[in-house]
Amino acid sequence: MNDIRRTILWVIFGFSMISLWDQWQVYNGHNPTFGLAPTTKVAANQATPAATPPSPNTTPVSSTSVPNATNSIASQAINTLPTAQNGNTNAVTTTSVAPELPKQRFDVTTDVLKLTFDTEGGSLVRSEFLQHADMDNKTKGVVLLDDSKDRVYMAQTGLIGAANFPTHKTVMAVAPGARKFEGDTKELIIKFESPEAGGVKLVKTYTLKRDGYDIAVKHEVVNTSTAPVAPQLYLQILRDGNKLAGESAFYSTFTGPAVYTEAKKFQKIEFTDIDKNKVDAEKQASNGFVAMVQHYFASAWILPDGIKRDLFTRKVDNNLYAVGMITAIEPITVGASKTVESRFFAGPQVEKTLEKITPGLELVKDYGWLTVLAKPLYWLLDALHSLIGNWGWAIIALVLLLKIAFYWLNAKAYSSMAKMKAVNPRITAMRERLKDQPQAMQQEMMKIYREEKINPMGGCFPIMVQIPVFIALYWVLLSSVEMRNAPWALWIRDLSTPDPYYILPVVMTLTTMLQTALNPAPPDPLQAKLMWFMPLAFSVMFFFFPAGLVLYWITNNILSIAQQWLINTRMGVPPQFNLPKFK
């Protein structure tokens, strides 16, 4: 039975190594090693990548494509969206572009954002977060949205329908006004107006507020024609599929589009699924949002609840992907106008901020399948930080509280291990005596366990109960943007990056090996040697892990060693280091 307990531990270790290898395969663009083959179902809202942009003479979608119970806007209209291009590709010519309006870009600065707008489409083409320093240049803020030779990531909107309505390729006029928060300024208003196109004008108004990463975006459609019009409004986020600079090869976080609806909740979409037309996400809804997610930061388009919308993802160019929504605007009579309110978010994944913007937006901070455990752990970590004022000490305090909460489970596990350690000499001698009689050996081992009142599983089950909690805490520390540039003490000036001097990983390795040495040595010499492989294998990865994660593991190890030492001493089993014999 002693072997059974160790076998279970080896199964856990083996599964962990397989999972790491699987993540490595996914990270490098391969299919999961042990995953199911992709389904052949093609999502109805997924457009086939176009080799060339739509021609201006292409027949536009009919105005009768307003959605009903059996009709999807996206499936009919998505291919009519103008293809977005950057400076490295040929421009798209559309009849809606007014050549007399020169294209220009200008900056708008709030207390937390520096944004760049383009009069072509009134699009948001760059966002810099003034309160989150760039890792490579601490004098600059993190850039999320961008339109440069290295990165394409933009927020675009426009109209589609029965005519060549204004799109994100239409050059618009911008109204004069303040471009920077000054004094007691509480909000900035940036207003774009398109020339007439297809019998309508599009007036796009951005309202930026103090201390806010969410922007109110109002689309007013004015009918300038001699007949009613019924355009459709699209809101999309365009991004390239490149990996993030500096992304670790030892752990991966999700980068790509996401969709949230009340019906199916948060749905992540891989770029590779878009490539293969294998997207299986919600297609229609009357609530929720679309987003583009990456480590620590995200962007999202949000429409008010109750507005019917079709959700789409598509590949726009060789390495450009779009996620968005299309909603029908009710017919507008001659000379009248109608307005659609929306919001655009671009900012850090701070849970308390995201929860206030719209339901479900906090899920862009990805905890995976352990969200139900991770969210309360983050709440407790945040509360401890509010009291202590230092994220490093808050991590240590949180692990200490978890150890206290699981004290009796750990005590039961260590008590069982101490009893097994006490009888280990008897079992070793018995195995040597009965090595040619496996059935008798098993019966004698069970007899010893009954006499000593030992449960072989007693040391394993309490530990397994705690594993999900500590894995959830791992994801909390890995995903929390608050760790970026957060110092702990002495040489640790950023808990989100590896220890520059590798001191913490070395301490982590030593504590793991010490913990292994305190455990009962397996009777099988080969098994005993293999048990020492685990701390050495994990130590390699921890040299590249963020300092905050390594600090968490060190604290957990030290507290576990102290508790194990205390329980062994109380039970009259002197702590003993069981070193492997390699001869």
Q: What pLDDT is stored for residue 544 in this prediction?
A: 83
- State how far the Cα of 234 lies from the Cα of 138, in Å rounded to an integer: 37
Half-sphere exposure of 286 (CA within 13 A, CB side): 6
Q: What pLDDT is stored for residue 349 in this prediction?
A: 96
Q: Give the three-state DSSP class for 218.
A: strand
Cα separation values, 399 from 56, 288, 551, 555, Å: 62, 35, 10, 7
Which domains are delineated in the chain? 44-249+299-348 (2.70.98.90), 378-420+459-570 (no CATH)
Q: What pLDDT is stored for residue 4 in this prediction?
A: 42
Q: What pLDDT is stored for residue 474 in this prediction?
A: 84
Half-sphere exposure of 515 (CA within 13 A, CB side): 22
Q: What pLDDT is stored for residue 564 in this prediction?
A: 76
Tokens (6 digits) for 544: 């590249």
- State how far the Cα of 309 lies from the Cα of 289, in Å rounded to an integer: 10
Low-confidence ranges of the chain (pLDDT < 50): 1-11, 14-15, 18, 21, 24-76, 84-98
Q: Give 94's contacts (C-beta < 8 A, 6+ positions apart).
A: 56, 82, 164, 167, 169, 170
φ, ψ for residue 260, nearest 5 deg? -125, 130
Tokens (6 digits) for 478: 């890995």
Q: What pLDDT is stored for residue 70 in this prediction?
A: 30
Q: What pLDDT is stored for residue 37 in this prediction?
A: 37
Give the predicted TM-score (pTM) of the model. 0.77
Residue 82 DSSP label:
P
Q: What pLDDT is stored for residue 576 in this prediction?
A: 64
Q: Is 399 left (phi over 0), alpha (psi -120 to 50) or beta?
A: alpha
Q: Give the three-state DSSP class for 79.
A: helix
CA-nearest of 172, 179, 178 to 193 is 172
Q: What pLDDT is stored for residue 563 in this prediction?
A: 80
Q: What pLDDT is stored for residue 32 in this prediction?
A: 45
| Dihedral angle sign, alpha carbons of residues 237, 242, 243, 244 | negative
CB atoms within 10 A of CB 178: 12
CA-nearest of 349, 321, 347, 343 to 152 is 321
